């Protein structure tokens, strides 16, 4: 869904195909309501989810949707796919066809996936400069010694060169859970990034599960393939932008 904002007078004029002079008359007569309140302010900013009613007729009344899904293996992080089941197919929601994915997961990666129709919110999550950390539980083929763990930690903090893009990853943190399981936190989402980072050590990633995005943790009550609404508090705090 588009996230562009407009001035109220231009928004109403365009949607009703009337002149701005006619819109000013409606404002003077206080026949335009924004989010349930009559207004006479021409340059009131209208966002994609602002309610606008003109003389009793609904011009815009869209619902913002924010969902968390516990993604299963074998499901594509896409809204449409001719060959495979998509994450949208897992969702039963009246506005499911308006949703897009805020940070994709690979075909066989499980865990926290966010879906929304709010383009501004999802953009905040994806911008590297916002440093929204994504934490993954990673199961590795080769066991790690204490020395290996320290080497991985130093290397990932410094950054790993990804080819052929010739890009060095941003600083990442690694915490060992056991000899074959670690938690990795990154603020990017490049193509197969986690697998490629461990590939620098010729260590294959066997399982990859996303635990969190920013302050938002995967709800432990959600089974694989299950979805729930994200609370208002979670929406506001995930990027620390109010």
The DSSP symbol for 98 reads: G
Q: Within its chain, how far is the Cα of 225 from the centroid? A: 17
Query: How far apart, in whole angstroms, are the C-alpha atoms of residue 81 and residue 78?
Result: 7
Query: How far apart, in whole angstroms, are the C-alpha atoms of residue 208 and residue 186?
Result: 13
Tokens of 205: 């990633």
C-alpha dist (Å) from residue 162 to 63, 106, 170, 226: 40, 18, 11, 34
Say which of 81, 89, 106, 148 is annotated catalytic. 106
Q: Look at the block and give the residue holding tokens 């869209």.
A: 62
Query: How far apart, in whole angstroms, are the C-alpha atoms of residue 87 and residue 160?
Result: 30
106 is annotated as an active-site residue: yes
Contact of 209 with 173, CB cutoff 8 Å: no
The closest of 114, 139, 141, 136 to 125, measured between CA atoms, is 114
Return the active site residues.
106
């Amino acid at each position: 869904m588009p996230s562009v904002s407009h001035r109220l007078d231009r928004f109403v004029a365009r949607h009703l195909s009337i002149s701005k002079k006619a819109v000013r008359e409606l404002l003077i007569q206080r026949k335009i309501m924004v989010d349930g309140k009559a207004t006479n302010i021409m340059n009131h900013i209208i966002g994609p989810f602002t309610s606008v009613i003109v003389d009793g007729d609904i011009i815009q009344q869209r619902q913002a949707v924010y969902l968390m899904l516990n993604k299963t293996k074998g499901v594509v992080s896409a809204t449409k796919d001719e060959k495979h089941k998509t994450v949208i197919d897992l969702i039963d929601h009246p506005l499911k066809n308006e949703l897009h994915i805020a940070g994709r997961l690979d075909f066989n990666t499980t865990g926290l996936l966010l879906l929304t129709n709010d383009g501004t919110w999802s953009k905040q999550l994806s911008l590297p400069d916002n440093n929204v950390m994504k934490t993954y539980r990673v199961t590795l083929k080769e066991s790690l010694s204490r020395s290996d763990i320290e080497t991985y930690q130093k290397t990932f903090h410094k950054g790993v060169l990804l080819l052929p893009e010739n890009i060095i990853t941003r600083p990442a943190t690694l915490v060992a859970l056991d000899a074959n399981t670690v938690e990795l936190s990154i603020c990017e989402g490049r193509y197969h990034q986690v697998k490629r980072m461990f590939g620098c050590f010729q260590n294959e990633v066997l399982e990859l599960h996303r635990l969190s995005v920013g302050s938002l943790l995967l709800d432990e009550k959600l089974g694989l393939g299950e979805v729930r609404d994200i609370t208002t508090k979670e929406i506001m705090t995930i990027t620390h932008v109010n």
